A and B are shown apart, each in its own frame.
Chain A
Amino acid sequence: MSISGSETQVSYLEYQGKHKGIWSWLLSTDHKRIGLLYLYAIIIFFFVAAFLGLLMRIELIAPGRTIMEPQTYNGLFTIHGIIMIFVIVIPGLAAVFGNFFLPILIGARDVAFPKLNLFSWYLYMIGAILGVLSQFIGGGAPDTGWTFYVPYSVESSTNVIYALTAAFILGFSSILTGLNFIVTIHRMRAPGMGWMRMPLFPWALYATAWIQVLATPIVGITLLMVIAERVLNIGFFDPALGGDPVLFQHLFWIYSHPAVYIMILPAMGIVTEIFPTFSQKPVFGYGAIVLSSLAIAFVGYFVWGHHMFTSGMSYNARWFFSFLTFIVAVPSAIKVFNWISTMYGGSIDLKPPLLYAISFIFLFMIGGFTGLVLGSLATNVQTHDTAFVMAHFHYIIFGGMGFAFFAAIHYWAPKMFGRMYNFRLAYIAWGFNFIGFNMLYFPLFIVGLQGMPRRAYDYLPQFQSGHVLSTIGSFILFAGLLLMVYNLIRGARKGAVAPANPWKGVTLEWKIPSPPPHENFDDLPEITSKPYLFGNISDNK
């Protein structure tokens, strides 16, 4: 592989195009700047939603009323879910790190449609702001939960239409980003970069992008149908109007289950980049990881019914979806095997990115195994709609996608900002995050198995110990998150200057300066070998 030039250009942070100041960011079509626009927006919205979560945990520290009324609580868990799911975890990794690193990793100067990329960010911002505003305007905060289940979402007098419209607009942004990535990967790979020479994060983004393009329109139309039902009284889902509420659940989960893979596939791609670098060893089973990403994306389409086992689905559909749910665990397990095998025998350097990546495996495995409890027909009846589901979900989404996000930002921050963060603070923040996370969510498995329902404002005194532990955990986690963000911002502003390749990585981003030049490469790189070949380890072959 040969990389020429790129020293002649200024960095993307210093580049002055035809626009100056704030407009050089808001009107930039540079994929790296757009990635950062997503990053800053996501950090802000994340802390809004996390703060709402903290308020809910304070409310639940004791039975009965603590700090808010039941209707406020219903509004909080709804908007917490809408922001976290539609604004943060679905776009998160692909929009931030996909935008920033996909073109660099495949040896391109930008994405295929840079203007469309910027337009996607504006759509994203409009949807996100509308979602937050729905909490404060008109008839009161929506109280349906982020799943918008009918017939309640048709009948609720709160701002459901605003929230539905927000999710619809955010969906459009997601579709356009996915489309952009598919075309970029098909058309803009560097000379010599065949499909099987492409790094694994772009592979994960490719699988994700197909889900974004194919599944998102279904939920978009479904949400529009709910709006039509509310406004025009057309009976799609409301039995009183001749509709079928279970059909809504089908249509909603046809998207929203694959959406879990939109969140987790890029996370898997990111840790797959991190393990070889910090083991100084080629990734184990490159082909198996590629195939498992595609298999997860494909099979993940056909497991949505496991969200509906107790909703009155036919028996045949139930066992079919349960069977496929167990099947989709296989490619996920293949990946875990490959990550651990990559580290085996390697020269392991336990820097913060690797620590978060290993934590990802641990937490994702807990989420995955408890998912099998929920995917099994018999045990699902006991655990459905309990705090057990909430704990499982957060272990997958926060423990999986969230910790992978933290791994990614610690891995790529030196490249993105050209400066290092403080390792000691990063380790301390990791400790707070890991302990706080487990303390927050693990007790919910226990109280859930004991019968504590999810989304409940009040509960029986027997569940209080679990809730107290959980609330203490939420404070520890929140402190850890603040410390982590403080350390990263401080590092980006005042940290030591980062070298081009602080981790001894071998993929393309480590072969250009930190921060990257405006157009990444002067001359497009010529790819002559597979990725992840480390020169100093004997088992590279």
Chain B
Amino acid sequence: MKHEDKHISSYSSLAIVLAVLLLLTAFSVWITGFHFGAFTVAVALIIASVKVATVLINFMHLKFENLFLRLLVTGVFVMFALVVILTFVDYYFR
């Protein structure tokens, strides 16, 4: 059980993460008022990625895991980003 005790985050830190997520949600709504043309999807995805990373690191306790696991998860996101970039490169240069 000691192992689990180490991982439990304080309520205040969880509340801060929640507030950050709500702020980012409000930001993603607010930013739709601006026209970024071809980069609209990219902007939305960047904000969503920040939110995902925040959840993974804090709520899913990635910050407590070892380097190997963190590298695996990072690798997954890099790969997903490459897939999205490749798709939209074709979409924009067609």
At the interface, yes or no: B56 with Cβ under 8 Å from chain A? no
Taking the closest CB of chain A, its distance from the CB of B77, in whole angstroms, is 10
| Segment among A113-121, A264-272, A312-320, A494-502 that sits at the interface with chain B | A312-320
Q: How many B residues have CB within 8 A of the partner chain?
A: 12
The answer to whether B94 and A302 touch across the interface, beta carbons within 8 angstroms, is no
Overall SS of chain B's interface: helix
Overall SS of chain A's interface: helix
The answer to whether B94 and A312 touch across the interface, beta carbons within 8 angstroms, is yes
The answer to whether B94 and A313 touch across the interface, beta carbons within 8 angstroms, is yes
The answer to whether B94 and A250 touch across the interface, beta carbons within 8 angstroms, is no
0/1 interface trace, chain B 81-94, chain A, CB 8 Å (1 if under)? 01100110111011
At the interface, yes or no: B80 with Cβ under 8 Å from chain A? yes
CB neighbours (8 Å) of B93 from chain A are 314, 316-317
State A302–B83 Cα separation when bound (angstroms). 7
CB neighbours (8 Å) of B79 from chain A are 214, 298, 301
Closest-by-CB residue of B relative to A218 is B83
At the interface, yes or no: B76 with Cβ under 8 Å from chain A? yes
Q: How many A residues have CB within 8 A of the partner chain?
A: 18
CB neighbours (8 Å) of B76 from chain A are 214
Closest-by-CB residue of B relative to A324 is B86
CB neighbours (8 Å) of A316 from chain B are 89-90, 93
State A218–B80 Cα separation when bound (angstroms). 10
CB neighbours (8 Å) of B86 from chain A are 302, 305, 317, 320
CB neighbours (8 Å) of A250 from chain B are 87, 90-91
CB neighbours (8 Å) of B89 from chain A are 314, 316-317
The answer to whether B94 and A246 touch across the interface, beta carbons within 8 angstroms, is yes
CB neighbours (8 Å) of A244 from chain B are 91
CB neighbours (8 Å) of A251 from chain B are 87
The answer to whether B82 and A314 touch across the interface, beta carbons within 8 angstroms, is no
State A320–B82 Cα separation when bound (angstroms). 13
State A246–B87 Cα separation when bound (angstroms). 10
The answer to whether B80 and A314 touch across the interface, beta carbons within 8 angstroms, is no
State A254–B86 Cα separation when bound (angstroms). 10
Interface positions, chain B 42-94, Cβ under 8 Å from A, are 76, 79-80, 82-83, 86-87, 89-91, 93-94
By a beta-carbon cutoff of 8 Å, the part of chain A in contact with chain B is 214, 218, 244, 246-247, 250-251, 254, 298, 301-302, 305, 312-314, 316-317, 320
A-B contact pairs, 12 of them (CB 8 A): A214-B80, A244-B91, A250-B87, A250-B90, A254-B83, A301-B79, A313-B90, A316-B89, A317-B86, A317-B89, A317-B90, A317-B93
- A254-B83, A305-B90, A312-B94 given. 16 additional CB < 8 A pairs? A246-B90, A247-B87, A247-B91, A250-B91, A251-B87, A254-B87, A301-B82, A302-B83, A305-B86, A314-B89, A314-B90, A314-B93, A314-B94, A316-B93, A317-B86, A317-B89
